[in-house]
Amino acid sequence: MSRDAFVIKGTRKGLSLTIADDAEISEVIDQLRQKLESARDFFGGAAVHIQPIERTMAPEERAALQRTIEDFGMILADDEPEPSVETGVRESSAPEREFGIGDQALVIRRTLRSGQTVEHDGSIVIMGDVNAGAEVICSGDIIVLGSLRGMAHAGCSGNSEAVVLAFRLQPTQLRVANVITRAPDGAVLRPKGPEIARVKNKTIHISAYGR
């Protein structure tokens, strides 16, 4: 089984990249390209902060990593990142709720299963899927780096500028502020790539991201 050469998390200042101490830089770059290729448009302009590692990174290693990061439209930052905000999700036969604190983006590095609910005052980033029967509710944006098949409610405090963005947007119910839409009956052709839902003329419109 291949191991992860790094861990990447979202913070208020961008992305935090923690490299395994014994990882070869070529291994880090190969895995980083695989992770970012399908999310190329999500992180454009984001700053990437490298967390301290035990071994010293050679100048040519840092330069190679910087070139990779810049290939995806991001910036390699020199300062230390703020701690990321991460939460666990409890399993239960009945829906349970979790609340983030403050206006930071809440980053969840796992898939939400049926019966799980996450609620946050701010935006939510889910690095996994949202399965049918799971719920995501927040006052900001919802970004799912996977498939969204459950219920999503962005801008729940009335923010009609909020958006819902996912690699695969197939929600059972979708809300932005006070506007609601449900999954259509029958099969629907979806674009191959990320999709974004936003309110236009008091209706939720779904389109391919970046168009």
3-state secondary structure 111-140: CECCCEEEEECCCEEECCCECCCCEEEECC
One-letter-per-residue 3-state SS of 97-108: CCECCCCCCEEE
Confidence of residue 158 (pLDDT cuts 50, 70, 90): very high
Q: What is the C-alpha separation between 121 and 118, in angstroms, rounded?
A: 10
Cα dihedral 91/92/97/103 (nearest 10): 0
The mean pLDDT of 155-174, rounded to a whole number, is 92
* Entry pTM: 0.54
Which candidate, 133, 134, 58, places its Cα nearest to that of 89? 134
The encoded tokens of residue 147 equal 């498939």
Q: 């009609």: which residue's tokens?
A: 160
Letter for the amino acid at 144?
V
Percent of the chain residues past pLDDT 70, beyond the cut: 73
Mean pLDDT estimate for the chain: 77
Q: Which stretches within 103-152 are classed as H helix? A: none
Between residues 133 and 52, the one the model is more confident about: 133
Tokens of 8: 């990447």
Q: What is the DSSP letter of 62?
A: H
pLDDT tens for each residue of 69-125: 888 877 887 644 444 433 333 333 333 333 333 446 788 888 888 988 888 888 898
Instruction: Give the pLDDT confidence score for residue 59 in this predicted structure.
Output: 85
Q: Dihedral of CA 56/49/44/140: which sign?
A: positive
Decide the pairing of beta strands 173-176 and 179-182: antiparallel
- Residues of the chain with pLDDT > 90, as a percent, come to 24
Tell me the two tokens of residue 56.
Answer: 């010293």
Please answer whether residues 49 and 80 qualify as being in contact, where contact means their C-beta atoms are separated by less than 8 angstroms. yes
Q: What is the pLDDT of residue 54?
A: 67
